[in-house]
Chain A
Amino acid sequence: DAGVIQSPRHEVTEMGQEVTLRCKPISGHDYLFWYRQTMMRGLELLIYFNNNVPIDDSGMPEDRFSAKMPNASFSTLKIQPSEPRDSAVYFCASRQSIMPGSEQYFGPGTRLTVT
């Protein structure tokens, strides 16, 4: 398997623009997670899905952020409008099950810079 795939790897945009980040989880994994990593706040869980259904979005910072999972092999995280404080590395991760000890597999991340 190719692992978790994220695109783009780097995104530079101007304040106020819409940004869409994409993720393809590992086939057969029922859980998908979106994280944000910054120096100041570390690794933050934004939202996670089970079988394409959002389970917990309490980490989504505000209404400018939205996430969808239209099918088992694709998810998007959208920021509209973007702001400079959204600059961070965004990771997608997937997991096969919720059995104790099951591993999360992370993608390579998307480095977002909002100017």
Chain B
Amino acid sequence: GNSVTQMEGPVTLSEEAFLTINCTYTATGYPSLFWYVQYPGEGLQLLLKATKADDKGSNKGFEATYRKETTSFHLEKGSVQVSDSAVYFCALSGGGYQKVTFGTGTKLQVIP
């Protein structure tokens, strides 16, 4: 079946540092890939997505590239802010009904 593996947290960075959160996946066919973000006390919300190989999703300074050859979708941001502190979930959808499989989440804490 489909699965998503992402780096364990928590990740603690200083403001303006470079962020990478690794995500790899296992899936049959050609899944769509997502990053969702969850701020404290809220539900998940879509951060970015990519639907085919070599696509780059981007939003709010975050980027991730769909790498089929390495089955990866790593999240990056060049300069994090305190307001980026949240839990980040990598996810994929595929198969019948495009069922979504989520990773375990990575907590990011950015300190001033």
**Do most interface residues of chain B lie in helix, strand or loop, or is the interface mixed?**
strand
Which residues of B are found within 8 Å of A34, using beta-carbon distances?
none
B72 within 8 A of A: no
B104 within 8 A of A: yes
A54-82 residues at the B interface, CB under 8 angstroms: 55-56
Given A42-B104, A43-B89, A50-B97, the answer on whether A100 and B32 have CB atoms closer than 8 Å is: yes
Which residues of A are found within 8 Å of B49, using beta-carbon distances?
101, 103
Contact A106 B44 (CB under 8 A): yes
Cβ of B94 to closest chain A Cβ, rounded Å? 8
B52-108 residues at the A interface, CB under 8 angstroms: 89, 93-94, 97-100, 102, 104-105
Give Cα A43–Cα B51 distance, bound, in whole angstroms. 22
Closest partner residue, chain B, to A3 (CB atom): B43
Contact B43 A98 (CB under 8 A): no
The size class of the interface chain B forms with chain A is 20 to 34
B14 within 8 A of A: no
Contact B99 A108 (CB under 8 A): no
Which residues of A are found within 8 Å of B93, using beta-carbon distances?
100-102
Cβ of B28 to closest chain A Cβ, rounded Å? 14
Contact B43 A109 (CB under 8 A): yes
Contact B105 A43 (CB under 8 A): yes
Which residues of B are found within 8 Å of A98, using beta-carbon distances?
97-98
Which residues of B are found within 8 Å of A109, using beta-carbon distances?
42-43
Which residues of A are found within 8 Å of B99, using beta-carbon distances?
45, 48, 56
Which residues of B are found within 8 Å of A56, using beta-carbon distances?
97, 99
- 5 further A-B contacts with Cβ under 8 Å, apart from A100-B51, A103-B49, are A43-B105, A48-B99, A98-B98, A100-B30, A106-B45
Question: Using a CB–CB distance below 8 Å, which chain B residues touch chain A?
Answer: 30, 32, 34, 41-46, 49, 51, 89, 93-94, 97-100, 102, 104-105
Question: Using a CB–CB distance below 8 Å, which chain A residues touch chain B?
Answer: 4, 31, 42-43, 45, 48, 50, 55-56, 91, 93, 98-109
